Chain A
């Protein structure tokens, strides 16, 4: 059974870079896309982006200029960096496995399982 465990700094100052890592245990790392999703306090979910084992990435167009997702296949881990954070980036950040459908382009179908979530607060 695949499990995701995530960690990273929980308190940042404005303009700093958010950095989170997610480790995958108990299943195949290749053959999937691995995603980051966030949830501001009391609000809905927002997809940030994804990466596969080969390092191919896709990002939310609204965050693309500030987001970098990377992968370390030797450790079955993937990481998120979000630069120039502001208070609007305060959220619980989740990592999740994305099941995709392969056609002319890859199509994201569903997310399962999810990590436990990490609250990241941006405050001066």
Chain B
């Protein structure tokens, strides 16, 4: 069982927007603005999409955005495209003992 809770799957049609939630606790997501999101296509290494809750690395489409409220972080993808179909993982700093926790992953299907 992963430390952060994500829905197992979400889906949307091309052009639509979807949001993936990532629920943690006051010991991780709720206490630090150190949430990151990763996109993983089958057989590939994860790719950083969002860091520090809402910052986008250079080269990542502005269709990807992140936010946080309390113990829950969210990744929103607008204007869905077929290439967005992938698994998405959230990650958070979790204090000086545990350090890092990941979510269980969400499979995004573009219908």
B interface residue numbers (CB < 8 A to A): 2, 32, 34, 36, 38, 45-48, 51-52, 57, 89, 91, 93, 96-105
Contact = CB atoms under 8 A, between A and B. Distances in A.
A16 interface: no
Interface stretch (A18-26, A69-77, A80-88, A104-112): A104-112
Chain A, interface residues (CB within 8 Å), range: 20 to 34
A94 B32 contact: no
A15 interface: no
17 contacts: A43-B104, A44-B104, A45-B38, A45-B89, A47-B99, A47-B100, A60-B99, A60-B100, A105-B96, A109-B51, A110-B52, A110-B91, A111-B38, A111-B91, A114-B46, A115-B45, A116-B45
A58 interface: yes
B36 A109 contact: yes
Given A94-B46, A112-B48, A112-B51, 11 more contacts: A44-B102, A46-B102, A47-B99, A47-B101, A50-B99, A60-B100, A61-B98, A111-B38, A114-B45, A116-B45, A117-B45
